Structure 1
């Protein structure tokens, strides 16, 4: 029995020593492969520093005294305190001029269609998203003056028009005797 126990101990100790030797041998090979020569990097040559000059934009000077003075004067500023009208929620390209009604002794009224609804408008009504105001109503078009702000903060009038877009089935112009 002692012989068996002695053989078992020798085999156990022999197995442990062989595994460690393999591990040490692998570590030595890996460290040899990992070692490399240092790479010599060439230092980049820098040119003389150039001074950055931003592009000149004389038209966009936000501190221009003329622009600030014009902003204080309030030239052509739209009345922001007035109640907005329903047709000011739509851009002009969504509005359609579909008809005209003339009354005896009164200014003509126009019919404007948008999103399945028809609205009646008169001279001086507002429409469109750029503070557009109706300045003329003719059988062919509605003339609108829009207020647009430029880069200097000045408001200027811009002419726009809605041409008549009547269908063949319905009359575009109606005359009232009232």
Structure 2
């Protein structure tokens, strides 16, 4: 039997010779060359680690002070003396008068939608959150802070509200409802 009579054997021999010749070369020769080059490089000095400051814990020094979430224990007279204000300003809401429909709503939820004028009388048209339009004039009340309507212009309704002052009394505060566009 000759080599040419068995083509599969011939092919197998050729593949074996190629595989063995491929194993004889060093596949990591380029890696070896690179590691030698790195080893031969001049080494630079490593910088020293920075010096760390020790952690200083926070010391809470306000433990002896008054708790800001509790009501102060001083009286209204002490507060008035401390603030150089008179003890009673005389301003307080009239709890005896009947409440008006617009006093059920917060002032910022009310919208002025227009004005009406007849002879000397001016009225403002106020829309509440329910969609109802109310006709008001100076002397009427609106908002939840006892807001009395003082003046009506074509652009706004001016009110004076009576609000708590935080120390047991009442103060007046100016407010307005501007016309909606």
TM-score, with structure 1 as normaliser: 0.55
The question of whether the paired residues in 1 share the 8 Å contact of 2:88 and 2:169 is answered with no
The whole-number CA distance in structure 2 between the counterparts of 1:72 and 1:81 is: 23
Say which of 165, 168, 174 aligns to 2:180.
165
| Distance 1:66-1:53 versus aligned 2 partners, 3 A rule | closer
Which digits, 9 at most, give the CA deviation of each residue in 1:95-142, with x for residues without a partner? 1100101111x2311110111111100101000001111111000111
1:97 and 2:120 aligned: no
Say which of 121, 146, 169 aligns to 1:107.
121
The whole-number CA distance in structure 1 between the counterparts of 2:87 and 2:76 is: 13
| Distance 1:56-1:123 versus aligned 2 partners, 3 A rule | same
**Matched pairs, number:** 113
Segments of 4+ in structure 1 off by > 4 A?
Answer: 66-74
Name stretches of at least 5 consecutive residues in structure 1 with no aligned partner: 1-51, 167-178
TM-score, with structure 2 as normaliser: 0.54
Partner of 1:176: none
Name stretches of at least 5 consecutive residues in structure 2 with no aligned partner: 1-62
1:85 and 2:94 aligned: no
After TM superposition, the structure 1 = structure 2 runs for residues 47-86 of structure 1, keeping only pairs within 5 Å, are 53-55=64-66, 60-66=72-78, 73=88, 75-86=90-101
The question of whether the paired residues in 2 share the 8 Å contact of 1:125 and 1:134 is answered with yes
The whole-number CA distance in structure 2 between the counterparts of 1:89 and 1:112 is: 13
The question of whether the paired residues in 2 share the 8 Å contact of 1:90 and 1:129 is answered with yes
Helix, strand or coil: the match of 1:108? strand
| Distance 1:100-1:64 versus aligned 2 partners, 3 A rule | closer
Q: Alpha carbon RMSD of aligned pairs, Å?
A: 2.8
Alpha-carbon offset, residue 55 of structure 1: 2.5
